[in-house]
Amino acid sequence: MMSIHPTAIVEEGAQLGDGCVIHAHALVTRHSVLGEGVVVHPFAVVGGDPQYLKFDATIATGVRIGAGTVVREHVTINRSIHAGQATVVGARCLLMACSHAGHDCILGDDVVLANNVMLAGHVEVGAHTFVGGGAGIHQFCRIGEGAMVAGLARITKDVAPFLMVAERDEVPGFNLVGLKRRGFPRAALLEIKAAYSHVFSGGDPRPLAASLLPEVQSAAARRFLGFFAGGKRGFARPAGPAAADE
Catalytic residues: 103-104, 121
Closest CA to 141 of 102, 172, 174, 180: 102
Give rounded-to-5 percent helix, strand, coil for the chain: 15, 30, 55
Give the other-Cβ count within 10 Å of 130's Cβ: 22
Give the other-Cβ count within 10 Å of 126's Cβ: 24
Query: What is the maximal distance between C-alpha atoms in the chain?
Result: 59
Give the other-Cβ count within 10 Å of 136's Cβ: 18
Partner residues linked to 113 by β-bridges: 95, 131
Q: Are strands 21-22 and 3-4 parallel, antiparallel or unpaired?
A: parallel
Question: How far apart (Å, rounded) are the C-alpha atoms in residues 235 and 75?
Answer: 28
